[in-house]
Amino acid sequence: MQDGLGHVFVKMTLHFSQEIEEKVLLYANESFDFFEALTETSMLALSSPHSEYGRSNVFMIQLPKPEKTADALEIIKKGLKV
């Protein structure tokens, strides 16, 4: 999503099962490196804020359609004029 003022937002919907769905809205202007890494790896890691980074409670997700992240990155680049 773009507001026409140079601000780009990305809505991600994560389906964990038929019962669990999480929606996240990210401000792409400040998360561009994240989207580049997501496009390169097609992996998303989720961690509890109460665990030490990389030590426990890390949940890794391999994205089922990596081409969608590449398409999204191109849309973000156009919105940011990178």
Q: For residue range 27-75, what is the model confidence (pLDDT) as tens digits?
A: 888 888 988 999 999 988 877 777 666 566 777 888 888 888 888 888 8
Residue 36: predicted pLDDT: 92
* Cα diameter, the chain: 41
DSSP state of 55: T
Q: Which residue has tokens 């991600």?
A: 12
Question: Which pair of structure tokens corresponds to residue 39?
Answer: 């496009």
- The contacts of residue 31 (CB under 8 Å, 6+ apart) are 10
What pTM was estimated for this model as a whole?
Answer: 0.70
- Those residues with Cβ within 8 angstroms of residue 48's Cβ, 6 or more apart along the chain or in another chain: 57
